[in-house]
Each structure stands twice: as C-alpha cells, then as structure tokens.
Chain A
C-alpha cells in the first residue's frame, strides 16, 4: 500500500458464525433456491403454454394421474417438517445429541419419500413419449425428484459430519440450520408441483 494505514477499530472480537442472513452460505443457498425456483416457474409457464393449446387437460383419451401416491407423498413430506423444525431448533441451541439422533429420522423419511415417488411415476397414467402433456407432467415430477435426491444425499453427508467432533463447531450448526431451511424449500415446492400434476388436470 502506498497509503499509510490509519488504524481504527479491531474486528478480532467478531464471531466466526451466525445463523440467518449474516451467514455467507445463507445467501448462497438463497441464490440457488432462486435459480431452482426459476426453473420451476418456467416449467410451470411451459405447462400452461402447452395447456392453452388443448381442448381438454389432460387431452382427450388420457386420464389424470391416480391420486393415492401423490397424496401420500404430500402427507409424509408435510409431516417431515416436524422433525425438521426440531433439528433446526436443536442446531440453534447447540443440542448436538438431538441433531445426531434426529437426522437419521430425516434420512429414513427421505428414503420412504423416494419409494413413494417411484410409485408416483408408475401412476401418472402416461409415458413421457405419449404427447406434450405427458412430457410436461413427467418433467415436473422429475425436476422435483432431483431436489429430493440431492437433499437426501446432502443430509446423509451432513449427518456423518455431525457425528464427528466437528459437530460441536458453530459453523457446522449453521450448516445444519441451513440444510433444514433447504428442506423447507423442497417441501414448499412440492405443493404447487403437486397441484399442477394432480389437480389442474382435474379442474
């Protein structure tokens, strides 16, 4: 520096982690949520664009997807917010034993959801090759499934990390908090996707 420094405050006493919008990763996650939200928003736009060309929706000769497995998925994923909230609260209270105990519950729920999702694909009453309606229905379900799988993998990795000594570190608790935030996003996304797949064709 050519300019001589004029010393003002020291930042040595600042913390190295905080929950919420102070955290850098919080902003990163919000950024990726918006990106993924844009994908869904545009997929919805494509859905309505294609729907606008049709006389009926689903087009004549097709059946709307069966309701059972989609409804089951909705119920399970909404209920998963209970352990999710408990983990989020435990992270903010540095209750590492609770986190270590509850994360396997979330992983098990994720596994159940993936199985139910398989049945959902089987009950769409169409194949993606049939027509544009079928393609867009499959796309919506596929897009949501990618979120399900990535968050599931993410949660397993984080759980393994939380079981180590580093689980007591503040920044790992922030990670846990933000992983719960992301899971909220995944189930919130499911509500409009669910309506688009199962109920708009029944209007």
Chain B
C-alpha cells in the first residue's frame, strides 16, 4: 500500500494525522448550547445577496422549489380560468382560436413540467434529509444547479409567452403538427427547449434524491424502517431516471428535425410521426405516477400521524409503490389506442392498464384499514386525505373504464378524458399536496396555518372541484372534443360547460384562500412547537424551523416510528466535526455507519454553470453552432465548480 509513497508525503500524512486528533467533534463533552452555537456558525451560509444565490442548504433550495412551483401553479390556474370564461357560453368570441391553442398548451406544460414534478421534488428536497436524520442532501451543489435550471426553463416558457411566441402545439406537442412544416417560427422550439431545461433539472434532482435516500439515512434506519414517503420518493426518483431521458431524447430529435433537417418524424423521408408518440408517452405515462406516487407518500405520512397508528401493512404499501413504478412503464400505448395498433397490442396494454389499478387499490385499502383501526383526528391535512380518497377513486374508476379499447376509441380526445385526468391529477396529487403543505408548514416556517381558514378552503376546493370536473364527463359523453375554443349552441353542452366554469372560480377562490392563509400565518400564525401534530418521524425531532445543521447530533433509529418510541430521549451517535460541514454516510440496506463525508461549501458556480448551460440551450434554438460554442463556458463553469479552491492538504477533507 505505502511502497509508492515518498518520505515527504509520509511525514505529511503523519503530521495531518496528529492534527486530526485535535479537531473538535460533538459528543458528551461538546453538547447543548455550546455545540449548537458552533454548528450554527459552521453551517450558516454567507450573508447577503451573494450568500443567498450561493446557498447549498437543502431547506432553502427546497423552499425555493416549492414557492416557485406554487407561483407557476397560480399562473397555470389563471390560464385555466381564461379558458373557462371562454367556454362558459356557446359561440363565445372572447378568445381567438390561436390564442386558445396557446392557452391550453401553456396550461398543460406549466402544470406538468413547471408545477407538478418540481413541487414534489421541492417538498422532498426540503423534508427528506430531515426525515432521514441527516444534515444535507447528497451533492448539494447539484441540487442548487437543478433548481436554477428549472427556474430558467420556466422563465423561458413564460417569457416567450409574454412576447407572443409561446407554444401552441398542446402539452404533448405531437408531430407532424410540431414539426418544421406545420409549425414554422419558434413556438415549438421554445416548448422543446423548456423540456430540455426541466428534464436536466429533474434528472439532477432525481440523482440527488436517490443518493440521499440510499446513503445518508440515520444509523439503524434500515430499508425496512424507512418512512413510506422516503420509499415513495426513492421509487419516483428511479422512475425519473428511466423515463425522463425519453422525452429529452424525443424533444432533441424534434429540435434537430426543425433546425438541422434530420428526418426522424418526417414521413416523406421515411421517418414516422408515431415515433414521437411512442417516445413521448414512454415518458408521459410514468410521469403521471411520478406525480402521483409522492402524493401517496404524503397520504401515508398524514394518515399515520392523524390516526395515531403506523400505516397498516407497511410491506404491502412498499411493494405496491414498487410494482406501480414498474407497471407504469408498461402502459404508455394506452394513450395511442386511436392510432391503430396490432390486436395483441390492444389486449396487452388494456390488461396492463387495468392491472395497475391493483397496487393502487391495495394502498387505498391499507389507508382505510389504518383509519378503521386508529383514532382519526379530522384536522385539515386529514381532511385532504379523505377528499383525496373520494376524488381519486372516482378518477381511478373512470380510468379503468377507458382502459377498454372500444370505449376509449369513442371517448378519446373528448372532455371525458379531461375529466378523468383532472380527477386523478388534482384529486390524486394536488389534494394530498395541499394537505402535506398544511402539515409541514410549521416545520418549514415555525408557525401553524389557520385551522378555520384551512377547513373553509378544503370544503371550497373539494366541492368546487366536483362542480368543475364532474360535468365534464357528461360534456365528453355528449361528444365535446377537448382543445376546441368554442362550441355551437343547441347540442346540450351549455349546462355542463357553465357549471364547470362556475366551479373553476370556486376552486380558484379556494386556492387564493390557501395562499392568503399561508402568507397570513407566516406573520400571525401560532408559534409551532417542534412536534405540533405528535408525529412519529425524525423531521419532528428538529427545531421548527430547523437550524441550518438540522440536528445537533445524528439520531439513531431503532424502529419505524422513532419519535413514538423515544420515551423522552433520542439515541444519537457522536463524533462528527463541528468546525467544518460534515455528514454521516451509512450502508445502503442495513444503514450501519460507513463513512464521514464532507459537505460542499456554498458556491456561486452552480448558478454560473446553470447560466452558461441556459445560454447554450436558448441559443441552440437559433443555431446548431451554439452547441459547440456554448459548450466552452459551460465546461469552464463546471470545472471551476469542482476545482478545489485550496490546494493545500487538510487534516480531513473539505469541499471548498
């Protein structure tokens, strides 16, 4: 081992080993206020605007993700209201057909790519390290980079929309409509490049989450003791890793068809427009579960806490998460039933689409059993769980119905489909999200949200939602196609559309109420104790809001519900250094202590790298040479990101 080490280096090694003994570490001799003051100093980011931009604290990045995603939710919601105003009465001429195309494209793209996926990642980035009992995510600079890429993608899409070059090709941008022949100009390129931004961001965040969940769990938190939300996010992150390359590849091929004349989707030169649909839905269907599975994690968290009982049949819930994740990759063709498929394809994808209902139903039965056996307290988060179950089951049932090919051929591209996916996406993901934001609000801000406003908001959104989307089933059955900017009078479509438009404003009012509640409680809410709901998981052992270092000592986990079994004391390990940022890595399955890992200092380079890559992406809309010339500043920024700022050897590694 040491045969190659020269004498000079060996002496240096010994010297560093001696210095290592002097490093201050937490333990019985360094605890309490004195320890916390030192950790505070070590883990705080630099002050001021530079520090704000350079932060790698997962809590700050997670908060930014959540706030940005909620802003995009509001923007997408405003577009939805505009569409509902247009459709409130027949033959309405308020919005032109072209503008309407832009509105539904922007609405769908914003909700799927700029709200639903990022908000789930944001919540996870904030809470997962706390839940796992650690002080940071893995690769915190990559985490910061991922946020900036997401932000720039959103700014690109909305900036273009405001400049009247927003995309108008639908959120799934089917070729040949989105190809060079039928979409001249840059609208389609804006859409495709927004995809590149958000996919880079989502993939980076997925790697961060997988590594965080596998390697940074508190000692003793074996895979079998991991909170169900962490399981859900692990499955989701792996799904992102396997599915998002499909849409990134497809949209890159689209851009190259449009920019440099390749022929992937060009039927005249033996390309195939259906290739787009296959690649897009190979991503697009898992995407639905990428949005839904985190929400099932939220539901498990809330159900457990508010029923005062561990979730019934933990292994079944975990297996259901994993099997949903796998089955999600076998369903994409059911979006393409109307394109003409081999008969065996129809049968296979119909049965696969029906099969995926089984693990989902198993989870729902497990939550019902938990409520049955526990003592549910119907506070706001739990109400959202109940609203979720009711709404999601309706959406799930209409989903099983349209998995049947003959019916799907009839209902394809009608408002029945619009009703179905809003039931599963809003009922299945947004309701649990509003519940979990209420639930984790005290952890994020240190204050409680108003219970009264929360309950009023819940009933408004639940009933407003049904009023908006239930009539759409009937509009669809009556034959109203989606994505039409108006409809003639006398077909029986007036009533369902008017009801939907009224309902949309009720939902919007409820969302506004939620935002008001959130902002008001930030200043006036009751001060939250560390564990206001009496929950069982580790994030509630940290202060509300958590200090920059999360935990003064790294907790040890001895059961699935550590705080319920704590009996006034939390077992901890000691020995992490306090003068530099350091976390503990554990083994993947058994979570036994494995390594000590330095945590990178705050840095501006992730932001600079994101700007450089962003310039590359945006200019490559206009010229292929941007890929070549844009690569140079990107490479410089990425190198500077990794290059140690101090080339002197330290007693223990630091990432400067």
Considering only residues 4-54 of chain A, those with a C-beta below 8 Å from chain B are 4-18, 21-24, 27-28, 31-32, 34-36, 38-39, 42-43, 45-46, 49-50, 53-54
Distance of A59 Cα from B269 Cα, bound (Å): 11
Docked-complex contact A12 and B595, CB < 8 angstroms: no
The reply on B163 being an interface residue by CB < 8 A is: no
The reply on B187 being an interface residue by CB < 8 A is: no
The smallest beta-carbon distance between A195 and chain B, in angstroms, is 20
The reply on B551 being an interface residue by CB < 8 A is: yes
The reply on B63 being an interface residue by CB < 8 A is: no
Docked-complex contact A3 and B596, CB < 8 angstroms: no
Query: Of the candidates B2, B241, B261, B595, which one forms a contact with A18 in the assembled complex, judged by CB atoms under 8 Å apart?
Result: B595
Stretch of A77-85, A88-96, A109-117, A181-189 on the interface side: A88-96
The reply on B255 being an interface residue by CB < 8 A is: no
Stretch of B116-124, B243-251, B412-420, B518-526 on the interface side: B243-251
The reply on A141 being an interface residue by CB < 8 A is: no
Among B262, B598, B644, find the residue whose CB has the most chain A CB atoms closer than 10 A: B262
Docked-complex contact A27 and B275, CB < 8 angstroms: no
Query: Of the candidates A17, A31, A50, A90, which one forms a contact with B206 in the assembled complex, judged by CB atoms under 8 Å apart?
Result: A31
The reply on B335 being an interface residue by CB < 8 A is: no
Query: Of the candidates A12, A14, A38, A166, which one forms a contact with B594 in the assembled complex, judged by CB atoms under 8 Å apart?
Result: A14
Query: Of the candidates B138, B551, B576, B643, which one forms a contact with A1 in the assembled complex, judged by CB atoms under 8 Å apart?
Result: B551
Docked-complex contact B270 and A59, CB < 8 angstroms: yes
The reply on B452 being an interface residue by CB < 8 A is: no
Q: How does the 8 Å CB contact mask read for B8-20 relative to A, with 1 for contact and 0 for none?
A: 0100110000000
The smallest beta-carbon distance between A51 and chain B, in angstroms, is 10
Docked-complex contact B552 and A1, CB < 8 angstroms: yes
The smallest beta-carbon distance between A48 and chain B, in angstroms, is 11
Q: How does the 8 Å CB contact mask read for A38-78 relative to B, with 1 for contact and 0 for none?
A: 11001101100110011000010000000000000000000
Stretch of B49-57, B494-502, B648-656 on the interface side: B648-656
Docked-complex contact B272 and A132, CB < 8 angstroms: yes
The reply on B572 being an interface residue by CB < 8 A is: yes
The smallest beta-carbon distance between B181 and chain A, in angstroms, is 15
Docked-complex contact A31 and B552, CB < 8 angstroms: no
Docked-complex contact A49 and B245, CB < 8 angstroms: no
Query: Of the candidates A21, A28, A130, which one forms a contact with B207 in the assembled complex, judged by CB atoms under 8 Å apart?
Result: A28
Considering only residues 95-142 of chain A, those with a C-beta below 8 Å from chain B are 95-98, 128-136, 138-139
A38 cross-chain contacts in B, Cβ below 8 A? 241-243, 245-246
Docked-complex contact A10 and B242, CB < 8 angstroms: no
Docked-complex contact B587 and A22, CB < 8 angstroms: yes
Distance of A11 Cα from B573 Cα, bound (Å): 7
**Given the known A-B contacts A39-B248, A166-B644, A169-B653, are A3 and B541 also in contact in the complex, defined by CB atoms under 8 Å?**
yes
Q: How does the 8 Å CB contact mask read for B542-567 relative to A, with 1 for contact and 0 for none?
A: 11000000011110100000010010
Docked-complex contact A131 and B573, CB < 8 angstroms: no
Docked-complex contact A1 and B269, CB < 8 angstroms: no
The reply on B279 being an interface residue by CB < 8 A is: yes
The reply on A171 being an interface residue by CB < 8 A is: yes
Query: Of the candidates B142, B214, B553, B635, which one forms a contact with A5 in the assembled complex, judged by CB atoms under 8 Å apart?
Result: B553
Distance of A7 Cα from B573 Cα, bound (Å): 6
Distance of A7 Cα from B28 Cα, bound (Å): 7
Among A1, A43, A168, find the residue whose CB has the most chain B CB atoms closer than 10 A: A1
Distance of A94 Cα from B6 Cα, bound (Å): 11
**Given the known A-B contacts A46-B279, A49-B275, are A31 and B210 also in contact in the complex, defined by CB atoms under 8 Å?**
yes
A133 cross-chain contacts in B, Cβ below 8 A? 270
Contact-size category for B = 35 or more
Distance of A87 Cα from B297 Cα, bound (Å): 44
The reply on B404 being an interface residue by CB < 8 A is: no
Docked-complex contact B653 and A7, CB < 8 angstroms: no
Docked-complex contact A135 and B573, CB < 8 angstroms: no
**Given the known A-B contacts A3-B569, A38-B241, A132-B270, are A168 and B9 also in contact in the complex, defined by CB atoms under 8 Å?**
yes
Docked-complex contact B211 and A28, CB < 8 angstroms: yes
Among A23, A38, A53, A136, find the residue whose CB has the most chain B CB atoms closer than 10 A: A38
The reply on B406 being an interface residue by CB < 8 A is: no
The reply on B345 being an interface residue by CB < 8 A is: no
Query: Of the candidates A42, A129, A130, which one forms a contact with B246 in the assembled complex, judged by CB atoms under 8 Å apart?
Result: A42
The reply on B597 being an interface residue by CB < 8 A is: yes
The reply on A157 being an interface residue by CB < 8 A is: yes
The smallest beta-carbon distance between B218 and chain A, in angstroms, is 11
The smallest beta-carbon distance between A174 and chain B, in angstroms, is 10
The reply on B264 being an interface residue by CB < 8 A is: yes
The smallest beta-carbon distance between A12 and chain B, in angstroms, is 3
22 of the cross-chain contacts (CB-CB < 8 Å) are A1-B543, A1-B553, A2-B541, A3-B541, A6-B570, A7-B27, A11-B573, A16-B596, A22-B587, A24-B139, A24-B215, A24-B585, A32-B207, A35-B203, A39-B249, A50-B270, A93-B1, A132-B264, A133-B270, A135-B262, A165-B649, A168-B9
- 9 pairs of A and B residues whose beta carbons are closest in the complex: A12-B575, A10-B575, A135-B262, A3-B570, A38-B245, A31-B207, A132-B271, A95-B4, A129-B261
**20 additional contacts, CB 8 Å, given A12-B575, A35-B245?**
A1-B542, A5-B552, A5-B553, A9-B573, A14-B593, A16-B597, A18-B594, A27-B138, A27-B211, A27-B215, A34-B241, A35-B241, A42-B246, A45-B278, A49-B275, A96-B4, A128-B260, A132-B264, A135-B271, A165-B649
Residues of B within 8 A of A (CB): 1-2, 4-5, 9, 12-13, 25, 27-28, 31, 138-139, 142, 203, 206-207, 210-211, 214-215, 219, 241-246, 248-249, 253, 256, 260-264, 266, 269-272, 275, 278-279, 282, 529-531, 541-543, 551-554, 556, 563, 566, 568-576, 584-585, 587-588, 593-598, 635, 639, 642-644, 647-649, 652-653
